[in-house]
């Protein structure tokens, strides 16, 4: 399933992650910026990917700005962003 409109969830506050979803024809693509990229980059990407797959989302461009969020926060913000995209429905030109 793909989302049809952009959405966002989370924030730039410490311990949080800002997730922005944009519809895409391609597979899941994640642009991640994080203060702890060296130590947790792979893990953050994994959690975002897994959560999207659990939500059955395949065509999406994710922009993620991380401020040291733990896994439970990343998972939650992705789910909220997906749910907001679904609720908004298709975007009209």
Partner 1 sequence: MSKRRSLLFIPGNSPGMVQNAGVFDADSVIFDLEDAVSVDEKDAARDLVCSALEGLDFGETEKIVRINPMDTVWGKIDAEAVAKVKPHAILVPKATEEAVVACDEILSHIENEQKWTQGEIQLIALIETAYGVEFSSSIVNASSRVNGVLLGGEDFTADMEIERTRHGEELSFVRRRLSTLCKARKLHFIDTPFADVNDLEGLRLDLKTAIEMGATGKAAINPRQVEEIHKAFTPDLKSVQWAQEVVDAWDEAQLSNKGVFSLHGKMIDAPVYNRAKKLLDKIG
Partner 2 sequence: MINRLGREVPEAIDGYGMCRSYPREGGNLHTITPKNYIKNNQPRSGDKIRSDLGELINELGIKDGMTLSFHHHLRNGDKVLQVVMQAVSDAGLKDITLAASSIFPAHACLVEHMQNGVVGQITANYISGPVADAISSGDLKKPAIMYTHGGRARAIESGDLSIDVAFIAAPACDGHGNISGSEGRAACGALGYAIPDAQYAQTVVAVTDNLVSYPTPFTEIGEEYVDYVLQIKCIGDPEGIVSGTTQITRNPIGLKIASMATRVIEASGLLKDGMSFQTGAGGTSLAVAHFLAEKMKEHSIVGSFASGGITGYLVDMFEQGLFKSLLDVQCFDLEAIRSYRENPLHQGMSASRYGNPHNKGCVVNQLDVMILGATEIDLDFNVNVTTASDGRIMGGSGGHSDTAYGSKLSIVVTQLVKGRLPIVKKQVTTLTTPGTSIDVLVTERGIAVHPKRKQLRGLLQQAGLPVFSIDELYQMACGIAGEPSEFSLDEKIVAVVEYRDGSVIDVVRKVKT
Residue ranges that bind partner 2, judged by CB under 8 A: 14-15, 35-36, 38-43, 67-71
Q: Which residues contact 38 (CB under 8 A, 6 or more apart)?
A: none
Q: Minimum CB separation from partner 1 for residue 69, in Å?
A: 6
Of 4, 13, 31, 54, which lies in the binding site for partner 1, with binding defined by CB under 8 A? 13
Region for residue 89 given its phi and psi (left: phi exceeds 0; alpha: psi -120 to 50; beta: otherwise): left
Q: Which is nearer to partner 1, 49 or 73 (CB)?
A: 73
Considering the complex, state which of residue 45 and residue 66 has its C-beta at the smaller distance from partner 1: 66
């Amino acid at each position: 399933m793909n989302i049809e409109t952009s959405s966002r969830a989370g924030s730039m506050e410490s311990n949080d992650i800002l997730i922005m979803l944009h519809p895409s024809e391609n597979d899941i693509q994640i642009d991640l910026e994080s203060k702890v990229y060296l130590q947790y980059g792979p893990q953050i990407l994994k959690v975002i990917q897994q959560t999207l797959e659990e939500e059955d989302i395949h065509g999406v461009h994710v922009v993620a700005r991380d401020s040291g969020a733990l896994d439970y926060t990343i998972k939650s913000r992705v789910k909220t962003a997906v749910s907001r995209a679904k609720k908004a429905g298709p975007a009209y030109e």
